Structure formats: structure tokens, C-alpha cells
Structure 1
Amino acid sequence: MNIPNILTLSRIAVIPLIVALVMMHNTTAQWIAFALYVTTALTDFLDGYLARKMKLVSPLGRMLDPIADKLIVGALLITFAFDGSFSTALTFAAIFIIMREIAVSGLREHLGPQNIVIPVSGIAKYKTTSQLVALGFVMVLPIVPGLQLVATATLWLATGLTLYTGYEYFAGAWPHLIKEEK
């Protein structure tokens, strides 16, 4: 265990609290949820920075970091779809994001035993950032009026980047998926 891994685990641990606060639907809880969420999102950048700077990159950290990102994004997408924060169209955006995340995770799991690594796209960092920013906007909609268009546009941008990076992963993996076994 090292500081970056502890930060990543703390990001995972706080997710149920953020969801519970969001679902309380009162101003104080929303602000606390948003503060925790912003702290969690910033910690995502901090744990990676510290791991590289302190030379503490570990297999555990490489595994947990993307899982933590997917858990916070997935939990909030489900929460916002469940509580009516999303229109029907945004619910489909949430479904597209979750489907892509599961499909790419499955692809990595399938290729892992074959020691095939599909490199992370440069756009993937923007994808994660856009998802986190979009969900932050959705989170504050009940307490900061007038952000609906920004939240919607940002979530669709995140959806587009998510689908595009999913395409990149599958395009990169395709030669490995279609070759016949000997």
C-alpha cells in the first residue's frame, strides 16, 4: 500500500456517500455531495501524479485507477437516470457510456491472458475528464439554475468521446480478435 493507492481506494469508498447525498434532494446535501465529488475528481489526477512523481506506479494502482473512474461515473449515471435528473435522451447517453465502459473492460480482460495490450488513446484522458465535468454539471443543476444546456451539451460531448475511444480500442484489437487459433 502506498499513498496513490490509498487515494484511489478512498475515491472508491466515498462513492456510496456521494450517491446517498445526491438522492437526499436537499440543498445542503447537494453541496456536500458536490464538494466530495470535486475532491474525488481532483484526487483522480493527484494519485496518478504522485504515483509517477514518487515512482510508486504499481500493478494494483494500474488496475484500481480506471476501476475507480468507471465506478464513480457509472454510479452517478445510474443515480441520475433513476431519480429523473436525465431526460429520455440523456438516459440513452448514460446507457451508451455504461455499455462502452463494460465492453472495453471485457475486451481488456479477453486480451490480457494473451499479453496483448491496446494502448490507451490520448483522447481517453479527455473522455474521462469530460465525463467527470458533465456529471458535475448535472449534480449542481438542482442548486445552480440555468446550467441545463451546459450540462446536456457536456454530457453529449462526453458520450461522443466515450464512444469514439471505444471504437479506437476495438479497432486496435480487431486484428487480435479475428485471427484464427492454431
Structure 2
Amino acid sequence: MTWNIPNILTTLRLVAAPLVAVMFLYFTRPYADIFAVILFVGAAVTDWFDGYLARAWGQQTKLGTMLDPIADKAMVVIALMVIIGFSSWSPWLVLPATMILFREVFVSGLREFLGDTAGTLKVTQLAKWKTTLQMVAIAVLFSQGVFEHYFGMSIWGMDSDMVSAILSGEEPDLHGLSWKLAGAEWAGRIGLWLLWLAAGLTLISGVDYFRKAVPYLKG
């Protein structure tokens, strides 16, 4: 096994995947959300850097080729699990997440079945775009939790009438309630839109992989 910088970055991303969930076991919110966002965004950035450096330095290895998609899938699957676990189980969130998880399991099963001929299912540009979109959507959804909990901390001890008066502009907004609430609402909407778009690209790329695998499944 060759331990060059691209492979080390990929390995760190793989290790970071379960740590996203661990953040919610050992830290209270919103700190867990903040740490999860930082960890997830940092890991997502390494996804671009490890591939770029491997190509630029001519350090593409079998180890990196194996670990890279595993790290990507682990990041996405674990992060979606955490987001759904701390959500209200809205079908608008559960459905795209289910589509993404189903595709990842399905394509992984195809690759395992094809064995030595799995090279026919090389990562396409569309698959790279869907992974990028998945990670952006997840990062935005994690940020929603940060806004929500800072809003909740800001209104601690206030009665509902006071909160309504501040949000309507009748009382001065000394604690930034308006922008915290707006941040939570927009992060939720944008994150959900991006997740549905990512789910669409995910299914399209899954169908593309299946079409390429069909000749090897006959008989």
C-alpha cells in the first residue's frame, strides 16, 4: 500500500465520517451541529484535493481508487442518518435520503457482483457532480441546526408575545432573532431543494451504471 498525501487525505475523510455522528453523542447542540458542519465541510474539501493532487502529482494508486468512493459514501450515508435522526421525519426529507441510500447500496452491490469486470462502472462526471451536490446539501442542512438552536437560546425565558413583538418589529431586536430565524428557515429550504436535486442526479447516475452493467448480467 502506498501512503502518499492524496491517500492520507482520503483516509482522514474516511475516519471523519463516523466522527460526524460521534459529535452528537459527546457534545450538546448547537455545538454538535457546529462541529459537524466544520468536520463535514473539511472532509468534503479534501475530496476535491486528494483527487486533484493524485492527478497532478501522478500518485493515483489502487488503494486511493478503492478508498475514495468508500469515504464519499460513508460521509453521505452517516450524515444523512444523523440529519434524519434529529429531524421531524418529514417525508420531504426522508424520501430523497432514501433514494440516495438505495442508489448507493444498489451500485455497490453491482460492483461487488461484477468483480473483475467492475471497471466498466468507472466513476463518471455525473457521479462526481451528484456527490458534490449531496455534500453541499448536507452541509446546508447541518447549518440549519446551528441557526435553530441559537434562535432557541436567544428566546430562552421570553414569552411568546414578546417573541412575536420582536419578530414583527414592534420591539427592538437586540438579540438578532430575525436573522437567526430567517437563517434557519432558508437553510432548511435551500438544503432540502439541493437534496432533492442531488437525489435526482443520484438516480440518473444509478440508471447509467445499471445500463452499463446489463451486458454482464445477461445469462
Report the TM-score, using the length of structure 2 for normalisation. Answer: 0.76
Contact 1:85 1:138 (8 Å CA) reproduced: no
Structure-1 residue corresponding to 2:51: 48
- Displacement of 1:20: 2.2
Counterpart selection for 1:9 from 8, 11, 15: 11
Aligned length: 179
Contact 1:22 1:139 (8 Å CA) reproduced: no
Amino acid of the residue matched to residue 20 of structure 1? V
Amino acid of the residue matched to residue 4 of structure 2? N
CA RMSD of aligned residues (A): 1.6
Q: Equivalents in 1 of 2:61, 2:18: separation in Å?
A: 26
Q: Equivalents in 1 of 2:140, 2:118: separation in Å?
A: 39
Amino acid of the residue matched to residue 59 of structure 2? L
Residues 6-47 of structure 1: CA deviation (Å, up to 9, x unaligned): 111111112222222246451233222211111100001111
Structure-1 residue corresponding to 2:154: none
Amino acid of the residue matched to residue 62 of structure 2? P
Structure 1 residues 40 and 85, CA, compared in 2 at 3 Å: closer, same or farther?
farther
- The 5 A counterparts of 1:10-49 are 10-22=12-24, 24-49=27-52
Q: Highest Rg: 1 or 2?
A: 2
Instruction: Work out whether 1:152 is the aligned partner of 2:200.
Output: no
Contact 2:99 2:203 (8 Å CA) reproduced: yes
- Once the two structures are aligned, what percentage of the paired residues are identical? 41
- Displacement of 1:111: 1.5
Structure-1 residue corresponding to 2:155: none
- Displacement of 1:115: 6.0
Q: Equivalents in 2 of 1:12, 1:108: separation in Å?
A: 20
Contact 1:8 1:61 (8 Å CA) reproduced: yes
Contact 1:7 1:47 (8 Å CA) reproduced: yes
Structure-2 residue corresponding to 1:126: 129
Contact 2:121 2:213 (8 Å CA) reproduced: yes
Q: Equivalents in 2 of 1:78, 1:88: separation in Å?
A: 14
Structure-2 residue corresponding to 1:60: 63
Structure 1 residues 128 and 170, CA, compared in 2 at 3 Å: closer, same or farther?
same
Return 5+ residue gaps in structure 2 as ranges: 148-183
Instruction: Work out whether 1:79 is the aligned partner of 2:79.
Output: no
Contact 1:37 1:136 (8 Å CA) reproduced: yes
Return 5+ residue gaps in structure 1 as ranges: none
Structure-2 residue corresponding to 1:117: 120
Structure 1 residues 123 and 111, CA, compared in 2 at 3 Å: closer, same or farther?
same
Greater CA drift, 149-158 or 76-85: 76-85
